[in-house]
Amino acid sequence: MVAAYLLDTTDNSGDIEGICAHYDYHDIQSDEAVYGKGAKKGLPEDDEVFFAHLARKIKAIQWLTPKLEKELRDKKQMDLYRDMEAPISSILAEMEITGITVDANRLNKMKDEFAQRLNDIEEKIFDQAGERFNINSPKQLGHILFEKMELPVIKKTKTGYSTAVDVLEQLKDQSPMVEDILQYRQIAKIQSTYVEGLLKVILQDGKVHTRYLQTLTQTGRLSSVDPNLQNIPIRLEEGRKIRQAFVPRKQDWVIYSSDYSQIELRVLAHVSKDEHLQEAFNKNQDIHASTAMRVFDISQPEDVTPNIRRQAKAVNFGIVYGISDFGLSQNLGISRKEAKNYIDTYFERYPGVKQYMNDSVAQAKEKGYAETLYKRRRYLESINSSNFNLRSFAERTAINSPIQGSAADILKIAMIELDKQLKEKQFKASMLLQVHDELVFEVPQDELETLDQLVKGVMEKAVELDVPLITESSWGKTWYDAK
DNA sequence: GCGATCAGCAA
DNA sequence: TGGCGTGCTGATCGC
């Protein structure tokens, strides 16, 4: 599965059957056909059916192996497979099995507190609306806001009125109720997805055991499910408190976290060779402020206001994630024209980046795929499409995938080296989580100093780029306190 | 019970 | 020349 994923991320449905079909091997059924799906999923009643399926899978894997190996060699991806994806697979399994301890008492207290607050806000909203309705239903909420109260309709969805946060933000001054709805939404999200969601998946060992999907994303990133531990809140204080429930498995241990600072932009500085971007990182400047100065033509650092820096940050965000001028305009609440202007200016002021982007697109058009520093491929079917939208998307993808994908490669390399060292040096600490540019560990107090040295050293020296790789580390009694 | 839709979280 | 970075989860709603 991992080999097939490296060869082509798209034809990988997460099932051997799909891969077999690709190679015209049909003596196999999909897992779904045998085990069912949804609520009916389970082992077949007839053992023979079950065993026959397993046997056919083994046979299929044997048949596939030499073919996949040959293709890996032809595509020069054998190293990527052998030295990166195969070892990472075992490390992820260990992390999943280890799990992370979650303080259910803490979550239960939060649950009560949030339930009380949701109740209060709910009553307040009903009071102002003059009727009771389901605030969680965008349809009912839209009816109240845009029909009963006749607030201006700012945006529509396919099926009705949009009640998304950016819309509500604009309606705030029209009615005090809107603020309450925003407040309600914020807490309801934390309550249902995180407090209740996490409580449901704590096992007898007091831990949650996420599963990392290694063969899913088109860029080489991991994803995390059941539960997803890669999107635990952090930006807003209310949500951030969820992290207080993530604790070490023993008293006197701590949660230690280390993350790469701006790894994607550093990768971009490296692959593009852009003089200005490299200079900013080599001088360890505040990259968003530095971008602000170039894009908005500011000569003195002290003239970069927080708002201007925020805009520059959004531009950098757009570069890293491959968003369109429309996406940037939505992020910043500006017109598409202005957004396009920002992007054009960015390219003007970072000519190396522009050159890199042109080259990436040209190469993708020629080869039909984009690739990372470590030969991870992403095929781009629509790169030569006559459909503007499809083509534009593929072009942004051609630019963005090597950046995001190479960053993912680098963290995987660091994880492999760290895992090796932790074992060799017999650390008691365990690696628990990977969150795209961050690694989270639990560690005894007396090992903390050595672990910090090790993690920092390994992550920063995982690969050598034209610009330094910098990490920021922190620790505390809970994941919240590791900040 | 299931799938589509909307909404919102993270890097 | 028209929809708009990805992936995951939860609530609602209609079938």
List, in sequence order, every beta strand (DSSP E) within A175-252.
207-208, 211-213, 223-225, 246-247
pLDDT at A220 exceeding the cut of 90:
yes
Q: Which two tokens stand for residue A88?
A: 């990472």
pLDDT at A85: 97
Contact assessment for residue A219 and residue A408, using Cβ atoms and an 8 Å cutoff: yes
Contact assessment for residue A403 and residue A268, using Cβ atoms and an 8 Å cutoff: yes
Contact assessment for residue A470 and residue A460, using Cβ atoms and an 8 Å cutoff: yes
Mean pLDDT of A86-99: 98
Residues with CB under 7 A from strand C: A 134, 136-137, 139-140, 192-193, 196-197, 200, 213, 216-218, 221, 223-228, 230-231, 321-324, 326-327, 388-389, 392-393, 396
Q: Which two tokens stand for residue A227?
A: 């539960």
pLDDT at A173 exceeding the cut of 90:
yes
DSSP state of A151: P
- Nucleotide closest in space to A400 (CA vs C1'): C5
Contact assessment for residue A2 and residue A16, using Cβ atoms and an 8 Å cutoff: no
- Nucleotide closest in space to A139 (CA vs C1'): C12
The one-letter code for the residue type at A383 is I
Band the pLDDT of A290: cuts 50, 70, 90. Answer: very high
Q: Does residue A138 reach within 7 angstroms of strand B, measured from its CB?
A: yes
Q: Tell me if residue A222 falls in helix, strand or coil.
A: coil
Q: Tell me if residue A310 falls in helix, strand or coil.
A: helix
Instruction: Output the distance from A380 CA to B1 C1' rounded to whole Å.
Output: 37
What's the CA gap between A224 and A239, in Å, rounded? Answer: 19
Q: Does residue A38 reach within 7 angstroms of strand B, measured from its CB?
A: yes
Average pLDDT over chain A reads 96
pLDDT at A11: 74
- Nearest protein residue to the C1' atom of C10, measured from CA: A193
pTM, two decimals, is 0.97
Instruction: Output the distance from A68 CA to B6 C1' rounded to whole Å.
Output: 41
- Nucleotide closest in space to A191 (CA vs C1'): C10
The secondary element (H helix, E strand) that includes residue A18 is helix A16-22
The secondary element (H helix, E strand) that includes residue A122 is helix A104-129
- Domain ranges for chain A: 1-75, 104-203, 214-263+409-476, 265-403
Q: Does residue A165 reach within 7 angstroms of strand B, measured from its CB?
A: yes
Backbone angles phi, psi at A29, to 5 degrees: -110, 160
- Nucleotide closest in space to A138 (CA vs C1'): B6
Give the angle A264-A270-A274 at the CA atoms, nearest 5°: 105
pLDDT at A23: 94
pLDDT in tens, A1-37: 999 999 999 877 788 999 999 999 999 999 999 999 8
A126-135 burial, b for 16+ CB within 10 Å, e for fewer? eeebeeeeeb
What's the CATH number for A265-403?
1.10.150.20
Which CATH superfamily is A104-203 part of? Answer: Taq DNA Polymerase; Chain T, domain 4 (1.20.1060.10)
Domain A214-263+409-476 in CATH 3.30.70.370: yes
Domain A1-75 in CATH 3.30.420.10: yes
Contact assessment for residue A161 and residue A146, using Cβ atoms and an 8 Å cutoff: yes
